[in-house]
Structure 1
């Protein structure tokens, strides 16, 4: 597993690019959280180097909901996270909080796990799992990357319940607004 620096944190109430320093070519585990129930934020990848400055069209978090944390794996090519406040940057008191998390602190997906809301898991091997999402609406699913941050393809049957084949080893981002379960078959 790569060594990724943890402990980067930032907060604000307006849209801005936040640098995420780490060794070149390494991904980062990032958490975005809204400080209020009525204010929503999104997170996109950004690049800001001596030679390139751009905001990528890759959206990691479409919209925060309430104050639950939203975790994602920032690709190695992105040097920054663009936090965008929905509804413009006019006043308001709700803040966003962004921080990086050490990969060692992630829960390991071995045989069976349950959670509530989005989470990034660490998987030492792939396999076939049954899954269920206990939410009534909204987006739910999985995003997998290897430990270097490269995307990996997954196959699944079903939307809210079914089977998923997770490649491994790598990071598994569970995209969910409510409770979920994964169990190795």
Structure 2
């Protein structure tokens, strides 16, 4: 693998070690490092996270050196979707695209893990700067009941931003994610 240049359009995500560190507080991180690590979800660029949190670029280097972050996409050809699309321009197709975003491999996973994966991708899309607190709650959730509160918050945002049709589509997707495993038993 050739070493590529880290840039502001690079997309980063938590490594497995990074997830463990957030949960266990095993390593003492600065506030900037911890906040950056919490937000890094494999969907946002370094620039978006830096802007959201107001942290220096060096924070990224520190987390990468400690193997708490990993590169999802080097960002050579960024394809960012505007999050400020007027409601009247929204059709069912963009909603379906948002709903059908590929989740990490979830074979033999519990409804909790399926919903967790879905929420970790969707929350930053709808909460903007407030996604930090929602993702922090997501990282601390230990059962499906704690995720239910976050799910309800997400559904409220979807309804407010896109309307009833989108709300129903999201509700249906969440129901499928949480019931799919029950059908396998």
When normalised by structure 1's length, the TM-score is 0.32
Q: Which has the higher strand share?
A: 1
